[in-house]
Structure 1
């Protein structure tokens, strides 16, 4: 679980608000669907990268048990969007899959 300041940073810088609604998949979807014009600024690019990872992890690779709400346990990797590619996403997804299998067996 990331520290509260990391969660606040990701919400404030990349999802544009610090309300509880940011925990919703819709917050990242709004960033992805935003009209950016001809060129995106660096901050727009960073927000898009972070929102894309949140959306893909939450809907495709490792969806949570709560409908429409994201898990924040990987948000440490999102603080610096330029290093997102350095995080081992496959390891994260496999660990979450094994956790779900253990839960199912129990």
Structure 2
């Protein structure tokens, strides 16, 4: 049972890391004007914008600069830490 929990934990952590990388690429590509027409950009908009858009509703741009992306990555890090704590608790419980 512990091995199964560790495998599930590793899969979830890898997916979160991949999503963090996708977010970083999305943010960097948003600074490049010609990147917005690419198929990679379209893919990243579809997977990143719903999550980042949630934070844009609560944190409007300040001085023309959006800090929603930073908040989104910070919250994702907190989620990752929380999931780690939950799985650690479950493994110690068993």
The two structures have a TM-score, normalised by structure 1, of 0.35
Q: Which structure's CA Rg is the greater one?
A: 2
Question: Which of the pair is proportionally richer in helix?
Answer: 2
The two structures have a TM-score, normalised by structure 2, of 0.38
